[in-house]
């Protein structure tokens, strides 16, 4: 079959890989001038196979009014002014119940675990490097209550094969001595030995080269305007560079997906920020999540990537201010882990495509011939392998 993919982020590219593997012809249409210039560009790089919880959880509901009043540094949103954003928020709130959170957590845990073996196979097959490392991961908790809450879901996750375990701070320090240089006191940590890291941008570039060698056509600087349909069946794609005749389309357009096709679970954008800095005076090998601040530290090659925050429904976002806030937190909590005074600091912001449940949409749309692989939220890099494989099985 000849399949057209819209979007050359990590989701579009992994989708293309699994379709190529099955012998299909693939054409990718991308509005930017190269791959991974959207949310996949400078993300946290964490392959969080064992730590991919949904954003919506019971403890978050009581915090929503404070978040709406901008009292929470990590999550921000304006009171939704459109029907679409209000609908998203209502559905998000419904996913914060104990029952729905548990269901979503399980589904994400299954998807992310299956990505682990799929990436291992892909690396063997394609010989990719992308600063990949078996880093393992530590999530640190300042409040005992949050640590205990986190421990509640461990046995469920472990029953799926997830190797998360709760450890004391002394144990965490013996695994990663850099923790003793942090300025906060911690109640405990969750350790995931099998978590990995890798640079998504490098991965996308390496995969693009393989895809081109294996017959995939890329059309860059080509913006999809609309999908053409007759009697609820797709017959082509209208773009600013002309018409593409096709009956098989997969929309992998990240946070812009809804502009092209209506997704069964609405996708909004959760803007996040990153800093890429030279290493500091203390080495970091394990990837770190500061759960209280929702800030991640990842070692990617010779650099440190710091990521964090989620801004929803914010009409005017002050990127510079948010990046400075991220820098201030990182420097305050982990002054030795990066060189914050360097002139070689790169900053970036990107829009995560987020559904109310945090579960991505992977499957057919209402229009015959049009499929969606989008809405991967906070863990699109991690989930890309499992979701690329799943969507390829429709063809």
- Nearest Cα neighbor of 200 from 68, 384, 335 is 384
For residues 10 and 304, which CB has a smaller minimum distance to ligand FAD in the complex?
10
Q: Does 367 bind ligand FAD (CB under 6 A)?
A: no
Candidate ranges 66-74, 137-145, 374-382, 386-394; the one touching ligand FAD (CB under 6 A)? 374-382
For residues 9 and 54, which CB has a smaller minimum distance to ligand FAD in the complex?
9
Q: Does 8 bind ligand FAD (CB under 6 A)?
A: yes
For residues 38 and 188, which CB has a smaller minimum distance to ligand FAD in the complex?
38
Minimum CB separation of residue 376 from ligand FAD in Å reads: 4
Q: Does 388 bind ligand FAD (CB under 6 A)?
A: no
For residues 223 and 367, which CB has a smaller minimum distance to ligand FAD in the complex?
223
List the structure tokens of 189. 């940590």
Q: Is 170 helix (H, G, I), strand (E, B) or coil?
A: helix
Q: Does 40 bind ligand FAD (CB under 6 A)?
A: yes
Q: Does 109 bind ligand FAD (CB under 6 A)?
A: no
For residues 5 and 189, which CB has a smaller minimum distance to ligand FAD in the complex?
5
Which residues touch 107 (CB under 8 Å, ≥6 apart)?
359
Among 7, 54, 236, 356, binds ligand FAD (CB under 6 A): 7
Among 50, 75, 178, 224, binds ligand FAD (CB under 6 A): 224
Strand order in the sheet with 25-29: 217-219, 25-29, 2-6, 249-251, 370-374, 361-364
Minimum CB separation of residue 349 from ligand FAD in Å reads: 7
The structure tokens 């998203």 sit at 88
Among 136, 289, 291, 374, binds ligand FAD (CB under 6 A): 374
Size of the site for ligand FAD (CB under 6 A): 43
For residues 16 and 252, which CB has a smaller minimum distance to ligand FAD in the complex?
252
Report whether 322 contacts 16 (CB < 8 A): no
The structure tokens 């919880």 sit at 53
Q: Is 26 helix (H, G, I), strand (E, B) or coil?
A: strand
User: Residue 276 and residue 42: Cα distance in Å, rounded?
Assistant: 8
Please classify residue 275 by burial: count the beta carbons closer than 10 Å to its beta carbon, then call 0-12 exposed, 13-18 middle and 19+ buried. Answer: buried
For residues 30 and 150, which CB has a smaller minimum distance to ligand FAD in the complex?
30
Minimum CB separation of residue 68 from ligand FAD in Å reads: 21
- Nearest Cα neighbor of 20 from 1, 45, 35, 44 is 1
Q: Does 54 bind ligand FAD (CB under 6 A)?
A: no
Phi first, then psi, for residue 140 (nearest 5°) are: -105, 140
Q: Does 45 bind ligand FAD (CB under 6 A)?
A: yes
Element (H, E) at 169: helix 169-175
Q: Does 387 bind ligand FAD (CB under 6 A)?
A: no
Q: Does 115 bind ligand FAD (CB under 6 A)?
A: no
327 vs 241, 277, 314, 322, 340, CA distance in Å? 41, 10, 21, 9, 8
Q: Does 44 bind ligand FAD (CB under 6 A)?
A: yes
Candidate ranges 126-134, 171-179, 325-333, 373-381; the one touching ligand FAD (CB under 6 A)? 373-381
The structure tokens 């097959």 sit at 125
Element (H, E) at 380: helix 380-392
User: Residue 204 and residue 207: Cα distance in Å, rounded?
Assistant: 5
Interface contacts to ligand FAD, rule CB under 6 A: 6-12, 29-32, 37-40, 43-46, 48, 223-224, 252-254, 256, 260, 272-274, 296, 307, 350, 352-353, 374, 376-382
């Amino acid at each position: 079959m000849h399949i057209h993919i819209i979007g050359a982020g990590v989701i579009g590219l992994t989708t293309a890989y699994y379709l190529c593997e099955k012998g299909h012809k693939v054409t990718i249409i991308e509005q930017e001038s190269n791959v991974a210039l959207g949310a996949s560009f400078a993300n946290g790089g964490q392959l969080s196979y064992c730590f991919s919880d949904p954003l919506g959880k019971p403890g978050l509901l009581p915090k929503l009014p404070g978040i709406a009043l901008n009292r929470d540094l990590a999550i921000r949103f304006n009171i939704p002014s459109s029907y679409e954003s209000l609908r998203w928020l209502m559905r998000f709130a419904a996913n914060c119940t104990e029952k729905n959170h548990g269901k979503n957590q399980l589904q994400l845990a299954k998807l992310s675990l299956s990505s682990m073996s799929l990436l291992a196979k892909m690396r063997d097959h394609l010989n990719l490097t992308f600063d990949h490392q078996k880093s393992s991961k530590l999530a640190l908790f300042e409040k005992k209550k949050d640590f205990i809450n986190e421990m509640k879901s461990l046995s469920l996750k472990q029953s799926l094969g997830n190797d998360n375990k709760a450890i004391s701070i002394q144990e965490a320090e013996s695994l990663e001595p850099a923790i003793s240089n942090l300025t906060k006191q911690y109640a405990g940590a969750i350790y995931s030995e099998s978590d990995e890291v890798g640079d998504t941008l490098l991965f996308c570039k390496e995969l693009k080269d393989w895809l081109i060698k294996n017959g995939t056509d890329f059309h860059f600087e080509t913006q999809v305007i609309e999908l053409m349909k007759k009697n609820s069946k797709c017959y082509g794609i209208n773009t600013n560079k002309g018409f593409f005749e096709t009956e098989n389309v997969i929309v992998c357009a990240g946070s812009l997906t809804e502009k092209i096709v209506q997704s069964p679970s609405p996708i909004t954008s959760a803007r996040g920020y990153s800093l890429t800095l030279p290493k500091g005076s203390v080495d970091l090998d394990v990837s770190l999540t500061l759960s209280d601040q929702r800030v991640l530290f990842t070692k990617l090659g010779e650099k440190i990537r710091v990521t964090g925050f989620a801004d929803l429904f914010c009409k005017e976002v002050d990127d510079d201010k948010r990046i400075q806030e991220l820098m201030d937190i990182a420097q305050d909590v982990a002054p030795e882990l990066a060189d914050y005074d360097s002139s070689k600091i790169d900053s970036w912001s990107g829009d995560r495509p987020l559904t109310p449940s945090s579960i991505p949409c992977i499957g057919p749309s209402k229009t015959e011939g049009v499929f969606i692989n989008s809405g991967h939220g906070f863990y699109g890099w991690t989930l890309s392998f499992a979701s690329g494989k799943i969507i390829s099985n429709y063809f």
